[in-house]
Structure 1
Amino acid sequence: MDNNRYFSLNKFFKPQKTRPLLHVNPTDNALRVDAEKSVITVFQYDENSVEEFKLDNIGECVKYKTTDKNIWINVEGLKRADVKAICRDFDIHLLIEEDILSVGQRPKTDLFEDFVFCLLYMLSYGQDNVLLNKEQISLILGKNFVLTFQEEPNRDAFDKVRLRLKNLHNKQLQQYGCDFLYYALIDAIVDDYFIAMDIFGEKIEEAEEHIVKAHSKISMSYILFLRKELLLLRRSIYPARDAISSINKNENELFSSKTLRYLKDIYDHILQATEMVENYREGMANLQDLHLNQANLKMNESMKIMAIVTCLLAPAAVIGGIFGMNFSQIPFLHDHYGFYFSVAVMLLIPLWMIYVFKKRGWF
């Protein structure tokens, strides 16, 4: 991050009133605002072929329910009526429908006999890596289908999965079925955690470098902004660890033994991510301490300069006070060179004091 951009960011993050971090009730899905548009994509595939369809109407999804091939339906941009319709068509439990439409829901996993539901957050940085964004992702695994729901069509963590699915030279996704596709989608979300944390780590390092510089003007509001980003990382990644652990411990027949081995690998990654969050937490504490220490050091430097100036002016004040007394008999009172002599003494004594201070290393 170059200096100009950094200081523009520092100027941008001025102290201001913000909403509390917990400002929504996740059980109240009435807070969900329908998206302006929904993008519905369907992948129909088997070991030998992959077909992709763009649908205009959510009602067209039901015809893929009875196919013999594997189905992945991805909905980008949530509308209440569309979610209700597709959940009804695929016999998804009402509680899962409420979780999909919830706002600020905690990452979780629900295991049913006929399907598995997992809710996670996708983390990504916006333009110029300034603001950390999160998006709620809901994933449902059925016997021969996967349903995914994304809040916004602008950000997508699944592009790599789509490319792998379309690549007929590497048929791993096609051969292992929907459970392996489910693993690949979760793995793509977890991989983005590391990208976001790497960017956040760079921001902490850059902030430390600017703090230790002599003329740094980093504000405490920017450090508090980084703390909020860290809290967002922590609240997204820590519950995700529990959600993925629940999938690993399940005995649902929807997952093959091969896929379960891959899911354990995701769990190892999420554990590593939680350790990185703890490291960044310590780094933020050190950053705050460093900022306070630098502020105290600057204040001490200012106080030292003020004390030196006061000491240097003290002799002049004393001499001026003595010769300003209203006594009739004062040395050099009527002397022609008395004034020049007193001024010379006022200058020589501070110069001698500067020499003594310098020799003793006081400044």
Structure 2
Amino acid sequence: MKIRLVTNGVFTPIEEIEVAVKAPSDGFYWIDADVEDLGLLQALFNLHDLAVEDCLTEEEQRPKLEIYENQYFLVINSIRFDDEEIFLRALNIFLGRHYIITVTRTKIHELRSIKPILLEQEVNRADRFLYHLVDTVIDNYFVVGDRIESRIESLEEDILMHTKKAHLTEIIGLRSEILWLKKMLGPQRDVIATLNKKDLRLIDDQLQKYFGDIHENAVKIYETFETYRDLMGNLREAYQSSVANRANDIMRVFTALTTIFMPLTFITGVYGMNFDYIPGMHDKHGSIVLLIMMAVLGFGMFYFFRKKDWL
């Protein structure tokens, strides 16, 4: 657990957690904690039992905002994409008048990347910290969205150039991830809308208007992933069409080869019969003539099929 006094964006480490219980003369306290620290934090900051229970559960939490007497409990999801799977990591936030507590199970990139933003903007209030944190989390969705779009385009090109069975597995897996993510984006969009529209006494009225801009971005993200879902459906159709075309090409080649060998098989069948009187049977050059005739016939049919673009 790390305790910091934030004053105009400048961080001052605090050793004793008890110091953060009382409001500082200037700035606010940011407590970056793990789930193991919740017992101590609950006793000191009177965290609500239901909020602590939500933090401790290992099941995925839907984004939400709970309003308690002296604090707000907010759950939003940070996103990460490693080109194979989409990961959502719950970011649990307790917002008080003079403090903000972030609780996570794993390290979240946005908590590190927000530090220079706080310094640049000279953040001096906990509600402004919340605004910049939520804004950073939502902006990261656009970065991940661009990577997913690039992956879809690359996958589409691979399918058109050389279709593989592995492509179908990847399409199904990525589409499932996008559908699952889309289900989480809806509640998250609604939570940000609440931060923008509902009367919240722990958030400055002027600052609430800025949450409207974040809400617009959340709506864009939701619509973007809706588009990705449709693209994955189109990609699956393209894969099936490519497989069907490939099968048709193979069958066309086999059919053409069978057609070429049909007359050759007929000729060899006739000259393989046990009759005494077959044209050219007793000619000493008969076999050579027959082979030349079969070769001319075969190559002639092959040339004809190539000219017709059947092969």
TM-score (normalizing by structure 1): 0.78
Residue 46 of structure 2: aligned partner = 91
CA distance in structure 1 between the partners assigned to 2:266 and 2:226 by the alignment: 59
Number of the residue aligned with 2:64: 108
SS at match of 1:45: strand
Counterpart of 1:141 in structure 2 is 95
Deviation at 1:218, TM superposition (A): 5.5
1:319 Cα deviation from its structure 2 partner: 0.6
Contact 1:140–1:148 at 8 Å: present in 2 too? yes
Offset from partner CA, 1:47-77 (integer Å, 9 cap, x none): 5x8442165xxxx4233111234222111x4
Gaps of 5+ in 2: none
Q: Deviations over 1:92-122 (max 9, x none)?
A: 1111011111221222221223222111111
Match of 2:79 in 1: 123
**1 CA distance for matches of 2:56 and 2:110?**
20
Paired with 1:152 and 1:120, the residues of 2 have a C-alpha distance of: 14
- Separation (CA, whole Å) in 2 of partners of 1:216 and 1:105: 37
Q: Residue 23 of structure 2 aligns to a residue in which SS?
A: coil
The offset of 1:232, in angstroms, is 4.4
**2:17 alignment partner in structure 1:** 61
RMSD: 2.3
Letter matched to residue 115 of structure 2:
R
Q: What is the distance in 2 between the residues matched to 1:215 and 1:96?
A: 49
* Structure 1 segments unaligned to the other structure (5+ residues): 1-39
Amino-acid identity (%)? 26
Q: Are the structure 2 counterparts of residues 163 and 226 from structure 1 closer, same or farther at C-alpha, using a change threshold of 3 Å?
A: same
Report the Cα offset of residue 156 of structure 1. 2.3
Corresponding residue to 1:184 among 132, 145, 150: 132
Partner of 1:44: 5
After superposition, the Cα gap between the structure-2 partners of 1:203 and 1:54, relative to the gap in structure 1 and judged at 3 Å, is farther
SS class of match (2:129)? helix
Q: Which residue is 1:20 aligned to?
A: none
Equivalent position amino acid for 1:195 in 2: V
Please report how far the alpha carbon of residue 242 of structure 1 lies from its aligned counterpart in structure 2 after TM superposition: 1.9
Query: Which of residues 205, 221, 231 in structure 2 aligns to 1:273?
Result: 221
Deviation, structure 1 residue 216: 7.0
Structure number with the higher helix fraction is: 2
- Tell me the residue number matched to 1:13: none
Name 2:233's counterpart in structure 1: 285
Please give the TM-score of this superposition, normalised by the length of structure 2. Answer: 0.90
